[in-house]
C-alpha cells in the first residue's frame, strides 16, 4: 500500500473547505479526504474505511487483507528481513489496521492493542511518578479504576473535574500537570465538553490533550481537528461493531508520539493479535453505513423516551433541549447511537425495566449491531469509587442504551412494553425537563 497522507481539508459535494471548523452534525456529507501520495487520489471517509491498509498480499493479490497468523518471521539472512521479525513487535495484519485507523482519524501513526484498557495503559506509560493528570469527572468506570491503580502503585496524581466548567479545569492546572484526559460524550450521561477549549488549556501548560473517541468514532468526531494530541479507542465498540472481538487503539497526532507509543506497545507486550486486528479491520469497512443507522434509531428512541410518562429524564445530545446540544452541533459530525435515561421511581423500577426488554439485551459493552441495555451503577461503572460516581450523577435510576441497527419500531415497542409494565413506587419523582 502506498504511503498515506492525510489531507487537512474536508469535502462537501465538489467543494473543498478548511477542516479546522466542524460543521453542523446533521451534515454527514462533509468528510475529510485521504490522499494516496503516488496517485493523489482523494478518498472520502467511507472509501478510506474500506480500502486503507488492504494491499498487503503481494504474493496472491487477495482483495481482503490476509490474517498473518504467525508468531515469527523467517530472516532472508542475518540481519535481513522483509520488515517483520516477531509479531509482538509488529505484524502485517496489525499494521494494516494501524494504517486504517491513522487515516480515519487524520493522525501520524497509531498502535493497535489488545483491549480498550490496554490502550489507556499504554497512554499512561507516557507519564512518570509525580506527573499530574486532569480527568473528566464522569469518565468510564474502568478508566477511573486504572487511574486509581496508577495513583496507588506509581504515584501518579489525578484530579477529577467537571470539564463542562472550563474555569474549574484551569483552576486545577498545576506546574506538574502533564495531560488532560477528555471523554466526550461522557459515559454514561452523554455530557459534551468543549474539546477545542480544553486543548487550548493543555497547550498553554505544554500538556497533552488526550481524547477518548470511542462513543462517536471518526465518523462523528475528529479530535485532531480540534487540537488533540492523542486519541484513544476501544475498538471493541463502534469501530468493530459486531461484538465479536475486544481491542483498543491509540492514535498520535505527531510522528514522535507515534513512535513512542509503538515502543511502549512492544515493551509492554500490549499489541493486538493478528486475528483480532483482522476482525476490527473487517468491521471498519461497514463503519459509515452502521453509524448512520445507529444514529437514526437513537434519535427515534430518544424522542420516544422523552415523551414517555414513566421516564424521568433523557440524556441524548441530539435532543434540542439537551444542555450541550449546540456545542455538540459545533464540534461533532453526528450525535451517535448512545442514549441514557432515568426511569421514574428507584432501583426497583430500573431493575424491572432492565429485566423486561426482549429485543434489548441486558449486557455490558456497546457499539454493536445489536441493541444493549445496562445499569451503569451496578455494571459498567460498578468499579468506580462510590463518591465519584455520585458526584458524576450516575444514580441508581440511570439506564444506558446502546441502540443497535434493528428496525426502529421494534426497539420502540420493546421499550414501551417494558416501561408500561412498571408499577411506580409510592413516592415517584416528578418528571423534569428532558436532557437537563
* Distance from C-alpha of 195 to C-alpha of 180, rounded to nearest angstrom: 10
Alpha-carbon span 401 to 360, nearest angstrom: 8
The active-site residue out of 68, 140, 219, 316 is 140
From the CB of residue 154, how many other CB atoms can be counted at a distance below 10 Å? Answer: 14
From 68-72, 252-256, 381-385, the region with the lowest mean pLDDT: 381-385
Architecture of 288-420 per CATH? Alpha-Beta Complex (3.90)
Confidence at 386, pLDDT banded by 50, 70, 90: confident
Q: Catalytic site residue 212? A: yes
Q: Higher-confidence residue: 58 or 350? A: 350
Check: CB of residue 223 under 8 Å from CB of residue 213. yes
pLDDT tens figures, 358-380: 999 999 999 999 999 999 999 98
From the candidates 131, 138, 194, 212, which is the catalytic residue?
212
Render pLDDT for 192-244 as a digit per residue (tens, 0 to 9).
Answer: 999 999 999 999 999 999 999 999 999 999 999 999 999 999 999 999 999 99
- What residues contact 161, with CB distance under 8 A and at least 6 apart? 134, 135, 136, 137, 168, 169, 172
What digits encode the pLDDT tens for the residues 46-97? 999 999 988 888 889 999 999 999 999 999 999 999 999 999 999 999 999 9
41 — pLDDT class (breaks 50, 70, 90): low
Task: Please give the CATH topology (third level) of the domain spanning 46-284.
Answer: 3.40.640
Question: Going by DSSP bridges, is the β-strand pair 372-374/361-362 parallel, antiparallel, or unpaired?
Answer: parallel
Phi, psi of 97 (to 5 degrees): -65, -40
SS3 at position 169: helix
Where do the structural domains in the chain lie, given as residue ranges? 46-284, 288-420
Beta strands in 353-405 (DSSP E): 361-362, 372-374, 398-402
307 burial class (0-12, 13-18, 19+ CB within 10 angstroms)?
exposed
- Which one of the listed residues 9, 44, 56, 88 is annotated catalytic? 88
Q: Which residues of 308-335 are buried (b: 16+ CB within 10 A; e: fewer)?
A: bebbbbbbbbbbeebebbebbbbbbbbb
The sheet carrying 372-374 orders its strands as 311-315, 338-343, 398-402, 372-374, 361-362
Give the rounded distance of the alpha carbon of 323 from its chain centre.
Answer: 21
Model pLDDT, residue 423: 66
Q: Is residue 88 annotated as part of the catalytic site, yes or no?
A: yes
Pairing of β 372-374 and β 398-402: antiparallel
Q: Where are the alpha helices (DSSP H) in 60-165?
A: 92-105, 116-124, 141-154
CA nearest neighbour of 399 among 436, 358, 333, 344: 344
End-to-end, the C-alpha distance of the chain in Å comes to: 48
Please indicate whether residue 237 is annotated as part of the active site. yes
- This prediction has a pTM of 0.89
E strand or H helix that includes residue 128: none
Look-up: residue for cell 474502568?
142
- In the structure, what pLDDT confidence band is assigned to residue 431 with cuts at 50, 70 and 90? very low
pLDDT digits (tens, 9 = 90+) for 293-312: 999 999 999 999 999 999 99
Cα–Cα distance for residue pair 211/186, rounded to 1 Å: 11
Give the active site residue among 94, 222, 237, 389: 237
Does an H or E element contain 157, and which? strand 157-161
Amino acid at each position: 500500500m502506498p504511503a498515506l497522507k492525510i489531507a487537512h481539508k474536508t469535502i462537501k459535494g465538489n467543494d473543498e473547505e478548511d477542516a479546522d471548523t466542524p460543521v453542523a452534525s446533521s451534515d454527514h456529507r462533509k468528510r475529510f479526504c485521504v490522499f494516496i501520495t503516488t496517485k493523489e487520489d482523494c478518498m472520502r471517509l467511507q472509501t478510506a474505511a474500506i480500502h486503507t491498509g488492504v494491499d498487503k498480499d503481494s504474493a496472491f493479490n487477495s482483495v481482503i487483507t490476509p490474517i498473518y497468523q504467525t508468531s515469527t518471521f523467517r530472516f532472508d539472512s542475518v540481519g535481513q528481513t522483509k520488515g517483520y521479525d516477531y509479531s509482538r513487535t509488529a505484524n502485517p495484519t496489525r499494521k494494516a489496521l494501524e494504517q486504517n485507523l491513522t487515516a480515519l482519524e487524520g493522525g501520524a501513526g497509531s498502535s493497535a492493542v489488545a483491549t480498550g484498557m490496554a490502550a489507556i495503559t499504554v497512554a499512561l506509560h507516557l507519564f512518570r511518578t509525580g506527573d499530574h493528570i486532569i480527568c473528566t469527572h464522569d469518565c468510564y468506570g474502568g478508566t477511573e479504576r486504572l487511574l486509581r491503580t496508577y495513583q496507588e502503585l506509581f504515584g501518579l496524581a489525578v484530579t477529577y473535574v467537571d470539564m463542562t466548567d472550563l474555569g474549574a479545569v484551569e483552576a486545577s492546572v498545576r506546574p506538574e500537570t502533564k495531560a488532560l484526559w477528555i471523554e466526550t460524550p461522557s459515559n454514561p450521561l452523554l455530557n459534551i465538553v468543549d474539546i477545542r477549549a480544553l486543548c487550548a488549556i493543555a497547550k498553554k501548560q505544554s500538556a497533552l490533550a488526550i481524547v477518548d473517541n470511542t462513543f462517536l468514532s471518526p465518523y462523528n468526531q475528529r479530535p485532531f481537528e480540534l487540537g488533540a494530541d492523542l486519541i484513544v479507542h476501544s475498538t471493541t465498540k463502534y469501530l468493530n461493531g459486531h461484538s465479536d472481538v475486544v481491542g483498543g487503539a491509540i492514535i498520535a497526532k505527531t510522528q514522535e508520539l507515534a513512535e513512542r507509543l509503538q515502543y511502549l506497545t512492544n515493551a509492554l507486550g500490549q499489541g493486538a493479535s493478528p486475528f483480532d486486528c483482522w476482525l476490527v479491520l473487517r468491521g471498519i469497512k461497514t463503519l459509515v453505513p452502521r453509524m448512520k443507522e445507529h444514529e437514526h434509531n437513537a434519535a427515534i428512541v430518544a424522542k420516544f423516551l422523552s415523551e414517555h410518562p414513566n421516564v424521568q429524564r433523557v440524556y441524548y445530545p441530539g435532543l434540542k433541549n439537551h444542555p450541550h446540544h449546540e456545542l455538540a452541533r459545533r464540534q461533532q459530525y453526528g450525535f451517535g447511537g448512545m442514549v441514557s435515561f432515568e426511569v421514574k421511581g428507584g432501583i426497583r423500577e430500573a431493575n424491572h425495566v432492565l429485566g423486561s426488554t426482549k429485543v434489548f439485551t441486558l449486557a455490558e459493552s456497546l457499539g454493536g449491531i445489536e441493541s444493549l441495555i445496562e445499569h451503569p451503577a451496578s455494571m459498567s461503572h460498578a468499579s468506580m469509587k462510590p463518591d465519584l460516581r455520585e458526584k458524576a450523577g450516575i444514580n441508581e435510576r440511570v439506564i444506558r442504551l446502546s441502540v443497535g441497527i434493528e428496525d426502529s419500531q421494534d426497539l420502540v415497542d420493546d421499550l414501551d412494553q417494558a416501561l408500561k409494565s412498571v408499577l411506580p413506587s409510592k413516592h415517584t419523582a416528578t418528571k423534569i425537563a428532558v436532557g437537563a
